[in-house]
């Protein structure tokens, strides 16, 4: 485990959350509230995240108001901008500042306790019934990665519904004709955009390749009517053709202008000029190809097939 994961695990122990075999996310009940500590991504770095559940969305406004006027949160160095309250959940995300290093387990516990105290003061006590049906004998578990109170019957029902959704999605036809048409149009637009930016700035940007890949992946999937490996391959291929093809088209345009003899186009001269331009600009092409590969990876991710599986960790 990394350093932050170690601190989070230690904070879970200090809070008295039960140890769980092979569990990387400490969770359990604290002061009657299901809580969860975890390490998440925030931008390009890691962040500590706390989730507190009270299963009464009607009391969200009370929690928000309590957090606004809390001096205890100020003392614990909890910023209001790092706290989100919605649908009976509090989510606190603490990004790591390199200048301050990894927070200690004790400082994490201080923040958790301060937030829990404010939630408890606003809500009173969390309901102990199953969140889904309001009855039964619920267990505290991570359901799709989020701490929850749910009974065995509702868990089985959720799993059955998820399987039905997955089967219905898998049965959808793939509209290949529309996918190819839309992907081709977006690839052409991306190529024109790439050359336009290069012309006006004299620079190449991987971020633009990523944006082109995201647009092609999203548009191709929408046109296809579903995602999947075939659509992912198509979106990735269109992204590579768009970005790398834009550079080759630019070199071909330049070569075309110097491949005329006596007013007539010379094919041999054109191909020679094009090969020479490509060889001379191999560094730019390599940079472009690398950006295109990243863009293709983004496109493939955007065209992926969603999963409706219910994951449970007890």
**86, 104, 127 - which closes a domain:** 127
DSSP codes joined into one string, the chain: --HHHHHHHHHHHHTTPPP-TT-SS-EEEETTEEEEEEEEEETTEEEEEEEEE-S-GGGHHHHHHHHHT-HHHHHTT--GGGEEEETTEEEEEEEPPTTT-SPPHHHHHHHHHHHHHHHHHHH-S---S-TTTS-S--EEEEETTEEEEE-HHHHHHHHHHHHHHHHHHHTSPP-HHHHHHHHHHHHHHHHHHHHHHHHHHS---HHHHHHHHHHHHHHHHHHHTS-SHHHHHHHHHHHHHHHHHHHHHHHHHHHHHT-EETTEE-HHHHHHHHHHHHHHTHHHHHHHHHHHHHHHHHHHHHTPPP--PPPEE-
Per-10-residue mean pLDDT of the chain, 314 residues long, equals 82 90 83 92 85 90 92 91 93 76 88 94 85 80 89 88 90 94 94 90 89 94 93 93 88 76 74 78 82 90 86 84
- Give dist(CA 265, CA 115) in Å, integer: 75
Of 86, 102, 127, at which residue does a domain stop? Answer: 127
Q: What is the pLDDT of residue 2?
A: 60
139, part of any domain: no
Question: Does residue 182 share a domain with residue 294?
Answer: yes
Q: ∠ CA 29-30-35 to the nearest 5 degrees?
A: 65
Instruction: Decide which of 92, 127, 162 is a domain's last residue.
Output: 127
Kindly state whether residue 150 falls inside one of the protein's structural domains. Answer: no
Could you tell me which of 196, 179, 285, 286 has the C-alpha nearest to residue 237? 179
Model pTM above 0.75: no
Domain region containing 180:
176-302
Spell out the residues 6+ positions from residue 164 whose beta carbon is closer than 8 angstroms to its own.
none
Residue 121 sits in the same domain as residue 204:
no
136: in domain: no
Which pLDDT belongs to residue 307? 84
Q: Three-class SS of residue 133?
A: coil
Domain tally for the chain?
2
In a domain, residue 145? The reply is no
Same domain, 210 and 110: no
Rounded to whole angstroms, the Cα distance separating 149 from 140 reads 5
State the CATH number of the domain containing residue 45.
3.30.1460.10
Q: Is residue 146 part of a domain?
A: no
- Residue 128 to residue 137: CA distance in whole angstroms: 9
Asked if residue 298 and residue 195 are part of one domain, the reply reads yes
Q: What is the pLDDT of residue 19?
A: 83
114 and 180 both lie in a single domain: no
- The reported pLDDT for the residue numbered 282 is 80
**Does 246 reside within a domain?**
yes
Taking the C-alpha atoms of residue 150 and residue 38, their distance in angstroms, rounded to an integer, is 20
Would 132 be classed as within a structural domain? no
Q: By three-state DSSP, how is residue 140 classified?
A: strand
- At 1 the pLDDT is 46
**Nearest 5 degrees, angle CA 307-CA 309-CA 310?**
140
> Are 41 and 103 members of one domain?
yes
119 and 14 in a common domain? yes
Both 120 and 216 in one domain: the answer is no
Contact 28, 70 (CB under 8 A): no
Instruction: Specify whether 296 is located in the same domain as 236.
Output: yes
DSSP assignment string, 75-123: HTT--GGGEEEETTEEEEEEEPPTTT-SPPHHHHHHHHHHHHHHHHHHH
One domain, residues 12 and 93: yes
What does the pLDDT read at residue 97?
65
**234's tokens:** 């198509």
Whole-number pLDDT of residue 112 = 95
Residue 255 counted as domain residue: yes
Distance CA 115, CA 221 (A): 41
């Amino acid at each position: 485990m990394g350093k932050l994961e170690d601190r989070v695990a230690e904070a879970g122990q200090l809070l008295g959350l039960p140890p769980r075999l092979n569990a990387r996310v400490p969770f359990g009940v604290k002061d009657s509230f299901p809580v969860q500590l975890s390490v998440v991504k925030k931008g390009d770095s890691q962040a500590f995240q706390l989730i507190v559940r009270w299963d009464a969305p009607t009391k969200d406004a009370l929690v928000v108001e309590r957090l606004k006027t809390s001096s205890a949160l100020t003392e614990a160095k909890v910023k209001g901008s790092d706290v989100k309250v919605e649908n009976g959940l509090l989510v606190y995300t603490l990004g790591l500042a390199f200048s301050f290093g990894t927070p200690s387990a004790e400082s994490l516990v201080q923040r958790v306790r301060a937030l829990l105290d404010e939630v408890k003061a606003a809500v009173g006590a969390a309901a102990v019934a199953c969140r889904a049906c309001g009855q039964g004998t619920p267990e505290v578990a991570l359901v799709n990665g989020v701490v929850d109170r749910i009974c065995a019957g509702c868990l089985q029902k959720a799993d059955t519904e998820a399987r039905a959704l997955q089967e219905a999605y898998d049965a959808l036809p793939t509209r290949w004709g529309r996918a190819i048409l839309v992907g081709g149009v977006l690839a052409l637009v991306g190529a024109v955009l790439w050359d336009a930016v290069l012309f006006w700035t004299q620079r190449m940007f991987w971020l633009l390749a990523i944006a082109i890949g995201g647009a092609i992946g999203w548009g191709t999937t929408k046109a296809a009517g579903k995602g999947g490996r075939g659509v992912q391959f198509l979106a990735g291929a269109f992204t590579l053709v768009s970005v790398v093809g834009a550079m080759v088209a630019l070199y071909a345009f330049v070569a075309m202008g110097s491949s005329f003899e006596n007013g007539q186009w010379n094919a041999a001269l054109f191909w020679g000029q094009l090969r020479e331009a490509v060889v001379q600009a191999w560094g730019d092409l390599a940079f472009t190809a690398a950006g295109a590969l990243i863009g293709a990876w983004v496109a493939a991710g955007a065209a992926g097939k969603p999963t409706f599986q219910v994951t449970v960790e007890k």
